[in-house]
Amino acid sequence: MKKIGILTGGGDCPGLNAVIRAAVRTAVHQYGWECLGYLDGYRGLALGETTPLTYDGVSGLLDRGGTILGTSNRDNPFNFRCADGELRDLSGQALDNLARDKVEALVVIGGDGTMTGAEQFRELGVTLIGVPKTIDNDLLATDYTFGFHTAVATATEALDRLHTTAESHHRLMVMEVMGRYAGWIALHAGLAGGADVILIPELPYDTARVAEAIEQRRRWGRNYSIIVVSEGVRPRSGQLITRGVVADSPDPLRLGGVSSLIAAELEQWTGVESRCVVLGHLQRGGRPIPFDRILATRFGAQAVEALAAGESGKMVALQGNDIVCVPLAQVAGKQKLVAPDHPLVAMGRGLGVCFGD
């Protein structure tokens, strides 16, 4: 092997640049390979838009947020919206671009949608290794994805700040975090930030149950409460709250805004003044914390090592303290959700945290 390609797909995430840096440095230093970056995820692969990646060129990326390659969560080469507005299968064109660029293997960095695309390209004979990325931590087969701990740290710091204003004004503070249909960020940040109520998608909530927990706190002399809400939560009898639909996206529903509804409902139920805060993209931006820098570096280096060992069609994953390779077929199109009896949920209940169920 003489040349590999690298692309980053899906949403941006702290640690993407650290993966690129590790993959390029390992490929160049250890094996003398040339590296080529495809711009804006699968879009660059489909349209042949590239940039060279050199050892010197990735210097200084370890702590830099975002991705120097750009990314996209809409462009699917197998169902690509072209300039004329028509949807076409450009997977064959993508294969032609790989041949033209003399790229013999790919390192594909992304979440569920990106890994699904990688599995499709594997079926077409492309040699590739996947690297799991998402702040939602909802990919199967890996204990953690890089970016998750940075998002949790951001959310926890926000909760620390909300505590003081909630206590001073005797209010309910409802903070909404990302996660889509998985409650990992809400669960971890809620426990780390001392939340009184944690609402996650895996446990449909009852507003009356949440109001009861708040009233119990008031009887104990605690005249404020902190509530963490995952964007994908839904009431036991009700619909998922969305803020729009993007028709050409792999996951067209745009979640967000449920915290405003919950804050208003709880104010009516309890009579306590309520405020809501939506962290949004603050969780996805900025510099990765040390844990994610190390994990991203391990993933990037191991992806190249796997290619050198002849592996293909697999994703690197953290299991315990080890980085292993698992078949993409076990990951693509699947989600890792919070089990109702997860140890952290059980521990939270024992601490008196209300989960609204």
Residues known to be catalytic: 136
Torsion angle of C-alpha atoms 117, 44, 310, 323, degrees rounded to 10? -70
Residue 53: C-alpha distances to residues 16, 58, 300 (Å): 14, 7, 14
Report the distance separating Cα 70 and Cα 77, nearest Å.
Answer: 16
If we measure between CA atoms, which residue out of 285, 286, 238 comes closest to residue 262?
A: 238
Report the distance separating Cα 90 and Cα 123, nearest Å.
Answer: 15
Report the distance separating Cα 152 and Cα 163, nearest Å.
Answer: 16
Residue 72: C-alpha distances to residues 31, 81, 148, 168, 299 (Å): 30, 13, 19, 42, 21
If we measure between CA atoms, which residue out of 176, 142, 94 comes closest to residue 314?
A: 142
Report the distance separating Cα 197 and Cα 325, nearest Å.
Answer: 37
Report the distance separating Cα 27 and Cα 19, nearest Å.
Answer: 12
List of long-range contacts for 252-255, beta carbons under 8 Å, 24+ apart: 255/180, 255/231
